Chain A
Amino acid sequence: MEALESLKTKNGVGEGGKPSPASFLSDHQGVAALGDKIFKLVTQLFAGLVLLLAVLVAWELWLSSRPALAKFGWSFLVTSDWDPVQEIFGSVPFVYGTLASSLLALLIATPLGLGISLFLTELAPMKLREPVAFVVEILAAIPSVVYGLWGMFVLAPLMRVYVDPVGMKLIGPPFFAPPSTGLSLFTAGIILAIMILPTITALSREVFEAVPNVYRESALALGATRWEAIQMAVLKASKAGVVGGVMLGLGRALGETMAVTMVIGNKPEVSINLLAASHSMASVIANEFSEAVSDMHVAALAEIGLLLMAITLILNMLAHLLIWATTQKFKAVHK
């Protein structure tokens, strides 16, 4: 009885037995509002940590490359020498290797990726879509070092024995000149192509699926073949989005480390011979960072990392903008 009475008073119930409205409401309001405020603050804090992380990444990179930035300045971007002993560092061979292998990967993966995503969104009967989509997803999940292992022991010998000779015969120097060990820019480009294929496919699919169906039907109703309808209604309209997807694929290729370093040969040389060994920005960091002797060596490697990050960042920003703009356009036109 007394407990009940104390409960009543706690909840603002007056002597008459009725709850007094004012105190009941205000208590409740206070506690709930405080809880809400705290929770919002906590989540805001964590969201802020994301921003902090970005700042941290940029800051630490810049800080660690400062000695090299100071010493070499702009020449870092145009020098080809990489001599840890004499402490002369230039980024050209690595930038070349990264760009060349990635562009090669793009050339191979873009038509394939578009073909696969068209197959998945426009052409394939339902039953065939699932296995193909599944395969593409698995390709995306395989760790880079496993690709590298397969690249070293399966792909590279295959290239050396079967593919490179064909290249040398059909196209020849200066792009396909001997000797070929299988560890080359070409092999790196191919393995990168396999690795970025899922990215290009997935993003193209996203863009194609955003195209309202009525455009496809309008084209078909005009008497277009399936392919013509795809050209008129889907491809023309999603050009920007597809470009965005390709750019994201490029971004992935630029940053890929393990698979590349295991098949590219790791020789800092610039050569248009695709069969020659080469190097890349990510590979040189992977190979040399843990064993870098001097502080300047570390700084130079960090500057390579800074360069790599800057390139991929700009690319990614442009890509996201394009994809976003394309999918928004369709939503806007068709409410």
Chain B
Amino acid sequence: MSKDTTASGPAATTTDEFIKGLWRENPVFVQVLGMCPVLAVSNTAENALAMGLATAFVLLMSNILVSLLRDFIPKQVRIASYILIIATFVTVTDYAIQAISVELYKSLGAFISLIVVNCLILSRAEAFASKNTVGKSILDALGMGIGFTFALFCLGAVREILGNGTLFDWALFPEGFQNWIVMILPAGGFFTLAAWLLIINVIQTRKIKS
């Protein structure tokens, strides 16, 4: 799958476990993990934020549980156990969202259940939570979760602003603005993500050069 991202370096500080998820090892922009279930519902800022937070919540809870049980789960059944744990929290999140808002649930629909196959959560459980303390796992989950939500928000915001002329349903442009409908369509999702990755690439290359 992706590069192994266990605790970086011998003297990794506690705060580093949190910060790495935000930018340096950002799940979407750097690791390019776990976008499948979320790209389809990132066509508005609100949906993207909701999906990001839902995923972050599942990541947090599963990291905690996996870390708590890490000595209890034998090697051979670890993947099956992780998936079972993740599926449990996804189901819980599904009901939570239904209880929060019918409208939101209708927009996100079956994609909430798809969080269970989000490669990111499984990868963090396998690469980090199963090998670290609960405290560190919490920080890792929080960092990755916030980084993930942030990246999703970048996607959703751009798509909504260009494709609908609004942000969180607040009109941003005067009447005459022609919406770039393509942005709300799936194709727009691909283009927006590609554009962001391109920009990140440019930034990284500049950093290396200087």
B is bound to A: no
- Enumerate chain A interface residues (CB-CB to B < 8 A): none
- Enumerate chain B interface residues (CB-CB to A < 8 A): none
